[in-house]
Amino acid sequence: MTSPPGTGPDLYGVGPAALAVQCDDPGLRASIGSVLQDLRDVAPDADADQASVRRQGPAWAQSPWSVWRHDQPRIVGISGPDVVTVLVGEVAGLVVERSPALVPLRAGAVERDGRAVVLLGRSEIESSRLALGLAERGWDLLGDALVLLDPTEAAVTPFWCPVEGAPGGVAAGDEAAEPGLVPASSVASLAGRCPLAALVVPTSTPGEPERLAEAETLAELAEHLAVVGPRAGAHVSALADTVGSLTGFRVHVGDLEQADASLTRLLQAGS
C-alpha cells in the first residue's frame, strides 16, 4: 500500500505489523518503494508505527539523511542506500515484535508443492545462499534471512527481505554495474504462508539424510533465534512444548544440484 505522491506515508510490513514511512524527497521515496515493494502485505486494520526519513545536510553531501522513529533520531548521517537498509531492519524488528506467537529464525526457507523447508545453515550467509540458489532452481522463496515459524500449527510465514543483486547490471553481464538491494521478487518466485515439511541442517559430510532427535532439533532452533534475552526464553519454551511435531534432518549439501535433489527426495518421502 503506497500513498499518492505528497499525500502521506507509505506502509511497509507483514500482516498486523506496519511501519508508516514519511519521506518527502520524491527520488529517495521512489527508491525505497522500489526495493521494499515485497514488504507491503499489510493488514487493512494494522496499527502502524511512525517513521520518517529527513534530510539533515546539504544536497551535495554524500550522507545527508537520517531515519527517525517516534520523533526521535534512530540514525543520522547516512546515504540513500543506507536508508533502505535501515528501514528493512526497522520493518523486520517491528514484525518480530508484533508477532509474539511466531518464532523468528535467522534462516532461509523455500517451498515446493505447498510445503516449506526451513534451512538452518551454519551462518546467515550459508542459509541465504542456499535459499536463493534453490530459488534459481525452481523452488519458491519464503525468505533468505528471516523466517517466522508458527510452532503450534507447524507452518512458516514468509518475510521477503530484499536481497543483494543488480537487475539489468551484473545479472545481465554488465560487470561495471554496482550491486545493491533489490526486491526478492526480482530474483525469485515468492511463496506465501504454508505448512512446514522439514527443518534442514545442511552438512558437508556425505551420507543419507539423518533424522534429528527432538533435543537436537530444539537446540538448532534455539541457536537460530533472531531475538535474545527473555523473549528468546519464551520462544524456546514454546518450541519445547511443540518440538515433537517439528521434523528435523541433517542433510548432505555438496552443491546446489545435490541440495535440490536431496530436498526433493525428502519432500517425496514425507508425502
* pLDDT attached to residue 174: 34
In 3D, which of 159, 158, 148 has the Cα closest to residue 193? 158
CATH 3.40.50 residue window(s) in the chain: 103-270
Query: In the predicted model, what is the mean pLDDT of residues 228-236?
Result: 94
Helix (H, G, I), strand (E, B) or coil at 20: strand
Pick from 163, 152, 176: nearest CA to 108: 163
Confidence of residue 172 (pLDDT cuts 50, 70, 90): very low
Question: What one-character DSSP code corresponds to residue 190?
Answer: B
Look up residue 221 and give its amino acid: L
Provide mean pLDDT across the span 72-79. 94
Q: Looking at residue 137, what DSSP letter applies?
A: T
Low-confidence winner among 1-10, 105-114, 152-161, 180-189 (lowest mean pLDDT):
1-10
The C-alpha atoms of residue 6 and residue 25 are separated, in whole angstroms, by 9
Across 199-205, average pLDDT: 92
> Looking at residue 254, what is its pLDDT?
82
Angle between helices 26-35 and 80-98 (to 10 degrees): 50
| CATH architecture type of domain 103-270 | 3-Layer(aba) Sandwich (3.40)
